[in-house]
């Protein structure tokens, strides 16, 4: 029993800091999701809607065409005119090639929402541009917050009920690392 307790302590020396790190990263991601959400909602609430034209798609990052089956890593470049007549060119913030290119070709008009105080702060009014980054940050952040405590709880629940040893002994027996497994019997037969 002492050996199991010592092993549990060693396991916890690794598991708790690792879980804490994942939880902190998760909290940062959830916060980042709210930051992006509030930024976008601010533009939607206080911004002016206008029509813009997709002038081109530009490749971003260092991916090559062969790394993506359906095309390149690209963002749309949109040009629009503000209420004061200023011509502004902005780029999409999300690599949503399949969403935008399927819906919009170069030269097509898209709805833009821009900040009248800073027209360069604009968003393309599509679901992907408005929601992809906040939803992705929230989803990954929540997973980072929930999974570590659940994993530790499951580990200790299985250990307490004895399922942990049974499961891992069966797994080791299948891999041939325990006496009595088919693999070890086969090796014993060969060496005899």
Domain ranges of the chain: 47-126
Per-residue pLDDT 10s for the chain (192 aa) are 445 567 767 777 777 888 889 999 999 999 999 999 999 999 999 999 999 998 887 776 655 444 444 445 677 889 999 989 999 999 887 765 555 445 567 788 889 999 999 999 999 888 888 888 899 999 999 999 999 888 888 777 777 776 655 555 666 555 555 555 444 455 555 555
Q: pTM surpassing 0.75?
A: no
The H or E element containing residue 186 is helix 182-191
Q: If we measure between CA atoms, which residue out of 87, 91, 81 comes closest to residue 58? A: 91
Please, how many CA atoms are within 13 Å of residue 137, restricted to the half-sphere of its CB? 17
Domain 47-126 matching CATH 3.30.450: the answer reads no
175's CB contacts (< 8 A; 6+ apart) are 181, 183
Six-digit token pair at 92?
């999409």
Phi/psi zone of residue 107: left (φ > 0), alpha (ψ -120 to 50 degrees), beta? left
């Amino acid at each position: 029993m002492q050996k199991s307790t010592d092993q549990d302590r060693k396991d916890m020396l690794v598991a708790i800091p690792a879980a804490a790190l994942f939880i902190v990263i998760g909290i940062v991601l959830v916060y980042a999701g709210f930051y992006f959400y509030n930024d976008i909602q601010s533009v939607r609430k206080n911004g002016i809607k206008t029509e813009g034209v997709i002038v081109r798609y530009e490749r971003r990052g260092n991916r090559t065409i062969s790394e993506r089956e359906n095309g390149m890593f690209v963002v749309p470049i949109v040009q629009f005119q503000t209420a004061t007549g200023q011509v502004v060119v902005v780029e999409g913030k999300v690599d949503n090639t399949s969403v935008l290119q399927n819906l919009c070709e170069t030269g097509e008009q898209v709805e833009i929402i821009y900040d009248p105080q800073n027209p360069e702060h604009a968003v393309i009014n599509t679901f992907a541009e408005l929601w992809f980054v906040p939803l992705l940050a929230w989803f990954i952040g929540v997973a980072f917050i929930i999974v570590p405590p659940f994993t530790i709880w499951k580990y200790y629940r299985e250990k307490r009920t004895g399922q942990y040893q049974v499961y891992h002994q069966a797994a080791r027996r299948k891999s041939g690392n325990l006496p009595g497994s088919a693999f070890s019997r086969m090796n014993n037969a060969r060496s005899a």
